[in-house]
Chain A
């Protein structure tokens, strides 16, 4: 990357409406590069012409470098403008930035993925990679908590994965409504009963900060060491390369040193107010 502040132009090839307020964009890499290699857990800065730029984690399969996939929720000015984009439209892309989920070091171990809400999107690339080399891992467990049944992300894929016998998926919702017969309550409640061997497990957590804090606490209670628990942190970001200062979290820059951290690295800070 010659100038890390300069976006490249990517064309949208497909827009998928996931839920009422989430959507997935598939893009073709810029003419200069043809492919977009990245690691599971990394993010890009996406720019909507004339509106602004925001960091979003990559949600696609790292094995498919011919396309770039992002899934996001419509929450602010930029994501609202992004939601209006259609196939053929273009976006500015800078990246990929940041650290990756420990997919390689997790080999031979059981893997627990704990996702909260849109936090499932940044974890999906790790799950793709693990499933591509399924025989190299022990038990695989996905614990996913979301607001309501209508908020369940990647529903079809979850159903396909659920049909596999080598992958355990538990979904829980905060508000069940009339038709939901599954778990109700916060995702951390699923951790005590989840089938994995705490002595040989790597956990990857992505969701709201408070959820990650409690999920990590539950995993520690089950006997996982803080070095085997990974979290993906979120902070305001303007540059993604350690220059703007916005993403500081105690001694680290989330863009440069994260977003994926071993829990041990953020543990001293995550329980203090307003870090």
Chain B
């Protein structure tokens, strides 16, 4: 943790939201809805999940009341920030038919300036991965680029890990290290409730200066560091990443894929909740008169048959091929494509799999199978 840190008292937290709103940001953060903590527009600190936590395990998610009134006492929302930067459904352009031909106009939808409140370390890494996909290649996605450029990020260090967390294995958390404007650590002890604040950008410093705050003491900084260190010890899952790419490539025809396919429903939940899964499809539609057509881009999943369809049929027609594609892409081919793993260890795919398939368990079994003869199997 940065030695130069500040303290924002709990009672002043609402000023942070107000300061961002005054600067034209729509504040988006965690809020309780339909039995889950989701990321949506929040107006004030009363919209936050005050006193709520979550219990997550394979195929299971439950809210629970915490003893103390923490604002960020939960681990992760089912939905990631992906939906705000890479929308699930977006218009690419409109076409108008006139005199036997047509013209195309790019979508001029207004893009809100968003401030994300409560971004976890693993989620910052997920955003950095999406940056590589949409901004760092030969082509740039203008939709992602415009949304990303307008984003203010308030990161919050995790005070607890869930049963499906494995960011420590992926080296993406639990400590927030970069990619934020402001980073908070929520500290609650017998007498006090406050946030230790680290500044990541000039924009972050400017916002902090508008709030009642003071320099943090060495004890306060140590208390915040202690919280994150304790979280690192609570990881519910782990994943050995050494040689994992080679294992997945070597074991592409392992019988274990048949086993997992017997359970996999190919529902695509894992791809929807994954903070880095970026695949999309396009839909071309016309109005009833045929005078106006448009193309929309929508999230897609490699678990559908249509995903790999070419004339004559789908390339990946069995569930095992589709599960293998997803897992191999996430943990192996992603590294070849973008220089990093596509997994940040957030554990959402484990929590939200309706049959509780666990990517870390599958990896472990493939790794065991990949041991040279003579070693433990």
Interface residues of A (CB under 8 A from B): 1, 3-9, 11, 47, 49-53, 75-76, 88-90, 92, 234-236, 238-239, 241-246, 248, 250-253, 256, 268, 272-275
Instruction: Say yes or no for B210: interface residue by CB 8 A criterion.
Output: no
In the complex with contacts A49-B102, A50-B284, A274-B317, A245-B137 CB distance below 8 A = no
Q: Chain A nearest CB: distance from B332 CB in Å?
A: 8
Interface residues of B (CB under 8 A from A): 92-93, 95, 97, 100-104, 106, 133-134, 137-139, 141-142, 249, 252-253, 278-282, 284-286, 290, 293, 295, 297, 300, 302, 307-311, 315-318, 321, 325, 329, 332-333, 336-337
Total number of residue pairs linking A and B with CB closer than 8 Å: 119
Q: Chain B nearest CB: distance from A130 CB in Å?
A: 28
In the complex with contacts A6-B106, A248-B325, A273-B253, A235-B310 CB distance below 8 A = yes
Inter-chain contacts of B102 with A (CB < 8 A):
9, 49, 90, 92
Inter-chain contacts of A1 with B (CB < 8 A):
139
| A contact patch SS | loop
Inter-chain contacts of B308 with A (CB < 8 A):
235-236, 246
How far is B295's CA from A53's CA once the two chains are assembled, in angstroms?
Answer: 10
Q: Chain B nearest CB: distance from A9 CB in Å?
A: 7
Inter-chain contacts of A274 with B (CB < 8 A):
315-318, 321
> In chain A, what residue has the closest Cβ to B271?
A245
In the complex, the answer to whether B139 meets A246 with C-beta atoms within 8 Å is no
Contacts A92-B104, A251-B336 known; list 16 others, CB within 8 Å: A3-B142, A5-B92, A9-B104, A49-B293, A53-B295, A76-B311, A89-B100, A234-B310, A236-B307, A236-B309, A242-B138, A243-B134, A243-B280, A246-B308, A256-B138, A268-B249
Inter-chain contacts of A11 with B (CB < 8 A):
101
| B contact patch SS | mixed
In the complex, the answer to whether B281 meets A246 with C-beta atoms within 8 Å is yes
Partner of A243 from the list B103, B141, B249 (CB cut-off 8 Å) is B141
Inter-chain contacts of A47 with B (CB < 8 A):
284
In the complex with contacts A256-B137, A272-B253, A49-B315 CB distance below 8 A = no
How far is B284's CA from A92's CA once the two chains are assembled, in angstroms?
Answer: 13
How far is B334's CA from A251's CA once the two chains are assembled, in angstroms?
Answer: 7
How far is B297's CA from A244's CA once the two chains are assembled, in angstroms?
Answer: 9
> In chain A, what residue has the closest Cβ to B279?
A245
In the complex, the answer to whether A9 meets B103 with C-beta atoms within 8 Å is yes
In the complex with contacts A6-B106, A251-B336, A275-B315, A243-B139 CB distance below 8 A = yes
In the complex, the answer to whether B280 meets A5 with C-beta atoms within 8 Å is no
How far is B311's CA from A3's CA once the two chains are assembled, in angstroms?
Answer: 28
Inter-chain contacts of A239 with B (CB < 8 A):
280, 282
Inter-chain contacts of B279 with A (CB < 8 A):
244-246
In the complex, the answer to whether B103 meets A6 with C-beta atoms within 8 Å is no
How far is B321's CA from A273's CA once the two chains are assembled, in angstroms?
Answer: 8
In the complex, the answer to whether B139 meets A4 with C-beta atoms within 8 Å is yes
Q: Chain B nearest CB: distance from A166 CB in Å?
A: 36
A-B residue pairs in contact (CB < 8 Å), sample of 24: A1-B139, A5-B92, A5-B93, A5-B297, A7-B104, A9-B102, A49-B95, A49-B293, A50-B286, A51-B284, A53-B295, A76-B311, A89-B100, A236-B308, A236-B315, A238-B281, A242-B138, A244-B282, A245-B278, A251-B336, A252-B337, A256-B138, A272-B253, A273-B321
